[in-house]
Structure 1
Amino acid sequence: MEIWRENERNELGGNMKNYILVIDEGTTGVRALIYDRDMRMLDFVYEALELIYPEPDEAEVDANEIYDKTVKVCRAVVEKCGVAAEDIAGVGITTQRASWTMWNKETGEPLHNAVLWFDNRGRHQKQKYMDDPVFSGSFPGLAEALPGFYVPLILDKICDDSPEFAEELKKETTLFGNMDTWLIWKLTNGAVHATTGSMTSAGMIYDNEHCCYNLPFVGYFGFREEMLPEVCEETGFFGNMSADILGVEIPICGAFADQQSAMFSQGCLSPNTIKCTMGTGTFVDINVGSEIKTVPGLSSMISWNMGGERLYLLEGQSSTAGTCLEWAKNKLKFFDDFSEMDDLAESVDDSGGVYFIPALAGMAFAPYNDETAKGAFMGIGPGADRQHFVRAMLEGIAFAGVLFMEEAAKMGVGIDEIKVSGGVTKSRSVLQTMADVTGARVIRPKSVEATALGAAEAAAIQLGWMKPADVEKYLEIEQVVVPGENSEKLQETYQNWKKVVERTLNWDC
């Protein structure tokens, strides 16, 4: 897709337009934010999404709800900030990765609910392909290695469950896209069908090294080239947002996958820099530079493409972090408000021998790679009370993040500094645990909205307002946590926690 020429950028990013609208579509909600030229957030508006769990291992959301609430928050934030739509220079978009949908390009209607990134139903299809002699002959050993969240496996499961959907998949009117593609397509009234390397590299349908779709492989599952979106730079031009939204057309001039967006805005621009985002899930990302690298148990992805330069990362991820805390609040009633967590945890000296394993959606990550694992509280004695359970939960969530850093250390990454973001990192207990166990400085920015800021910066780069190297000057540090007096004890607790994890594995046996 053609990138704007310099004079067009300067004209549209001129003095008459002073704001960027950011759409931040996450797992559990959609927010719209307004940023000024100095990358300061004026305000935001948020709408929650209703997640759907039709069967065990399945996680969905209504794709139309995502779009409708996106439009709603865009209109609301402009009104809330008192900003004229004519004064918005561009739109930046950041969305959850590896969640996807398919739709009819003539009607604009989804063919199925959007499938969320932690949906694991594909694991039920693995045996089918392990037993398929044609597949095994063409792709030896791959069926066993495919994770349950692999998009083609889930697509195959949906086709098995719905013959009607299987028929729609064969039609030339069918399009595929992650949430960024879906929103761009809808916001441009179907004019643009595009994505970015940071987004598509997470879905395992793209060859990240050669930057093309794995058509021989994914074609076996029914994918065709014409249904897949064009892959563009994160600072590219993605068409104009329709005047139907805010009354005027506004260029969409930046799109970023959520984790890479946070990594970018936190200044992880050079090799061996580490970012840890704790929101719905935990994501630890390590910049590995311009050459792709592989480490067993960690995912290799594209960080971003900007100005013809492509960078890569290694990532470890756990699908449950904030999800566990929501469960503790809403189901277990451990606390009424998240602000109570730290006080409860700090009211006791330790977890009282209680351990929490945050495997509510399995542990399909290094070093365990077990989709059957289950969440658990263990080590419960008669002296355990609510405070011990809460402390064990916060420690367990922090420990899961440390696991990935241990894997990174095996490839020679020195862990001296960890940049964090996401709602869970507001917990001082989580950050202190992470610092104590790793021995590293944990740095939290003033705003934990690092994901939205990265999308704003991508748009600002396209508009000519800044350059990639400028991100450091927009990063305001609120807190630096260093290892404390409890470090040795926490490191021992962490080693014991890893032994407890072993007892939650192979749950299907």
Structure 2
Amino acid sequence: MEKKYIMALDEGTTGVRTIIFDNKGNIVGEATQEFIQIFPTPGWVEHDPMEILQSQIEVTRQAICRAKVAPEEIRAIGITNQRETTVIWDKITGKPIYNAICWQSRQTAEIVEKWIADGLADEIREKTGLVIDAYFSASKIPWILDAVPGARQRAEKGELLFGTIDTWLIWNLTGGKSHTTDYSNASRTMLYNIMKLDWDEELCRKLDIPMAVLPKAIDSDGDFGTTIASLFGAEIPIRGNAGDQQAALFGQACFKPGMAKNTFGTAGVYVMNTGDKPVFKEGLTTTIAWGVDGKVSYALEGVVFISGATIQWLRDELKLIYTAADTEWYGATVPDTGGVYLVPAFVGLCAPYWDMYARGMIIGITRGTTRNHVIRAGLDALAYQTKDIINAVIQDGTIEVAELRVDGGAVKNNLLCQFQSDILGIPVIRPKITEMTALGAAYLAGLGSGLWKSTDEIAEHWAIDKVFKPVMAEEDREDLYFGWQEAVKLTRGWAKRVKTVK
């Protein structure tokens, strides 16, 4: 039986998805499912690892049925995942000892403050490429080990395992035979030396993290093991793995240095391929894009904590819309926001501000402000935050950004894409396939399993749906962005200034 399909397991921050692609990169079957967000206290965000695992298995079975393909026809699996989110589990029972601490969570901020006070920020930046922050996995590991009685001692004895969600899935799908991750996910832990391509022993010692819990990091198109036959009806090799944003960069065929994309998912993430040399910019992180065929590519990255999640908040908490797609209709009923700015710093501000204590705000409200103005302000916030990142990329004049490739669920919104082009003053390019995280994981698995022979062959599959060109006057662009910058200033350090805010 010909093995001509690739299956991508896309584990996101709010839900799981499985997509099956044919050898041309076309979608032949998919299934999705949301999972519960756990908020134990303001600023904390956690997930149930067992729910994530079971949900991913269920949607994978559904996708296989909907694609009408035999499991034996699936050549390989590629995995992509919400990065940084941390799971620690029992090596024997396979049960998590605590909830997964989400990348969004602020519960480890005090640990990070101590590390900053200890003078570790520069060393961490130099070795890992990252800005010291509670966002990354490093502070989540000791938090769990110290919160769960006896956990630290068990970890030091080698009885517990750590992983980001990709590692958690791989370990379970292979029946506990593979405790692995890839370079891209390892580089987001704040423990991995991106120059030496290894866990940094000195950092782990200073951060009090037992190295026995860490997984093996390999190429993104490497051999991550084989699934148990009983899960999906056949043993299927796992031959691709990358963090969601690096996978999206790969899916966008940004294979050459200088090529970049912005993903509008739960978070908003701008990633630029910098080739075989790491590039450092103030306010941004330097990371590993992927390891393919034994060669590592680096990336420059800017992350916005709350991007598409802003729209979810308008829908689920404020009840201003019924579906995410409603933002385009309601937003288009007004010519602009009427002077309203919504800064979605719900869990602090990430790049380029790195403020763990900023909190969200809506400002500029008048007696004439309507529901639609607030919805439009929420939509515009996604574009403003992207401009913040790109300004950090170009501010020293060494890099030029001439266009922006976009992906993620939110880019189906024409109003957003046009405003993004207007506020940046450059073309915004939307491809035909916008679920790039899954496609990137599929491409990596296809390369690893030999379905595709090279990145040149993959690049031929990329196709444009629509190009949005700027029509806004420069003066209007400057005035609107100045207002946004002033609004952001008001959110800075709020949770520290006001004792009733956590």
User: TM bucket by the smaller chain?
Assistant: over 0.9
Distance 1:351 1:463, change over 3 A: same
- Listed as ranges, the matches of 1:165-184 within 5 Å are 165-184=151-170
Distance 1:142 1:239, change over 3 A: closer
User: Residue 150 of structure 2: SS of its match in structure 1?
Assistant: helix
Q: Which residue of 2 aligns with 1:11?
A: none
1:424 and 2:443 matched: no
Distance 1:140 1:29, change over 3 A: closer
Q: 2:124–2:190: 8 Å Cα contact kept in structure 1?
A: no
TM-superposition CA deviations, 1:321-376 (whole Å, max 9, x none): 1111111112212111222211221211221111111211111321x221111111
Q: 2:323 aligns with which of 330, 337, 340?
A: 337
Q: 2:361 aligns with which of 376, 385, 404?
A: 376
Shift of 1:181: 0.8
**Cα distance in 1, alignment partners of residues 445 and 276 from structure 2:** 23
Structure 1, unpaired ranges of 5+: 1-14
**Cα distance in 2, alignment partners of residues 160 and 204 from structure 1:** 19
What letter matches 1:497 in structure 2? Answer: W
Shift of 1:283: 0.3
Q: 1:202 aligns with which of 164, 169, 188?
A: 188
Q: 2:85 aligns with which of 91, 94, 99?
A: 99
User: Residue 250 of structure 1: SS of its match in structure 2?
Assistant: coil
Q: Which residue of 1 aligns with 2:372?
A: 387
Shift of 1:242: 0.7
Q: 1:409–1:415: 8 Å Cα contact kept in structure 2?
A: yes
- Listed as ranges, the matches of 1:417-496 within 5 Å are 417-466=403-452, 467-485=454-472, 488-496=475-483
What letter matches 1:434 in structure 2? Answer: Q
**Cα distance in 2, alignment partners of residues 66 and 354 from structure 1:** 37
User: Residue 66 of structure 2: SS of its match in structure 1?
Assistant: helix
Shift of 1:486: 5.2
**Cα distance in 2, alignment partners of residues 92 and 61 from structure 1:** 22
What letter matches 1:388 in structure 2? Answer: H
Q: Which residue of 2 aligns with 1:362?
A: 348
Q: 1:259 aligns with which of 240, 245, 259?
A: 245
1:125 and 2:111 matched: yes
Q: Which residue of 1 aligns with 2:173?
A: 187
Distance 1:141 1:188, change over 3 A: closer
What letter matches 2:344 in structure 1? Answer: P
Q: Which residue of 1 aligns with 2:96?
A: 110
Structure 2, unpaired ranges of 5+: 126-130, 498-502
CA RMSD of aligned residues (A): 1.9
Q: Which residue of 1 aligns with 2:273?
A: 287
- Listed as ranges, the matches of 1:342-357 within 5 Å are 342-357=328-343
Distance 1:66 1:54, change over 3 A: same
Distance 1:210 1:354, change over 3 A: same
Q: Which residue of 1 aligns with 2:141?
A: 155
**Cα distance in 2, alignment partners of residues 105 and 163 from structure 1:** 17
Shift of 1:140: 7.9
Q: 1:245 aligns with which of 197, 212, 231?
A: 231
Segment of structure 1 superposing worse, 469-478 or 149-158: 149-158
**Cα distance in 1, alignment partners of residues 141 and 224 from structure 2:** 27
Distance 1:162 1:468, change over 3 A: same
Identity %: 31
What letter matches 1:380 in structure 2? Answer: I
TM-superposition CA deviations, 1:14-59 (whole Å, max 9, x none): x711211111111111111111111111121111111111122221
TM-superposition CA deviations, 1:271-297 (whole Å, max 9, x none): 221210011010011111211111121
Q: 1:324–1:360: 8 Å Cα contact kept in structure 2?
A: no
1:32 and 2:18 matched: yes
Q: Which residue of 2 aligns with 1:86?
A: 72
Shift of 1:194: 0.8
User: Residue 328 of structure 1: SS of its match in structure 2?
Assistant: helix
Q: 2:392 aligns with which of 383, 399, 407?
A: 407
Shift of 1:257: 1.1
Shift of 1:129: 4.5
TM-superposition CA deviations, 1:422-467 (whole Å, max 9, x none): 1122222221121112111101111211111111111111122221
Q: 1:188–1:240: 8 Å Cα contact kept in structure 2?
A: yes
Q: 1:99–1:179: 8 Å Cα contact kept in structure 2?
A: yes
Q: 2:155–2:213: 8 Å Cα contact kept in structure 1?
A: no
Shift of 1:109: 1.2
Q: 1:314 aligns with which of 291, 295, 300?
A: 300
User: Residue 405 of structure 1: SS of its match in structure 2?
Assistant: helix
**Cα distance in 1, alignment partners of residues 77 and 121 from structure 2:** 44
**Cα distance in 2, alignment partners of residues 182 and 46 from structure 1:** 19
> Aligned pair count?
489
Distance 1:149 1:37, change over 3 A: same
In the superposition, the TM-score normalised over structure 1's length comes to 0.92
Distance 1:491 1:432, change over 3 A: farther
Distance 1:375 1:243, change over 3 A: same
Q: 1:505 aligns with which of 484, 492, 497?
A: 492
Shift of 1:487: 5.5
**Cα distance in 1, alignment partners of residues 473 and 329 from structure 2:** 17
In the superposition, the TM-score normalised over structure 2's length comes to 0.93
What letter matches 1:472 in structure 2? Answer: A
User: Residue 348 of structure 2: SS of its match in structure 1?
Assistant: coil
User: Residue 138 of structure 2: SS of its match in structure 1?
Assistant: helix
**Cα distance in 2, alignment partners of residues 123 and 86 from structure 1:** 47
TM-superposition CA deviations, 1:219-264 (whole Å, max 9, x none): 3334333321111111111111110112221111111111011101
Q: 1:329–1:337: 8 Å Cα contact kept in structure 2?
A: yes
What letter matches 1:491 in structure 2? Answer: E
**Cα distance in 2, alignment partners of residues 107 and 175 from structure 1:** 11
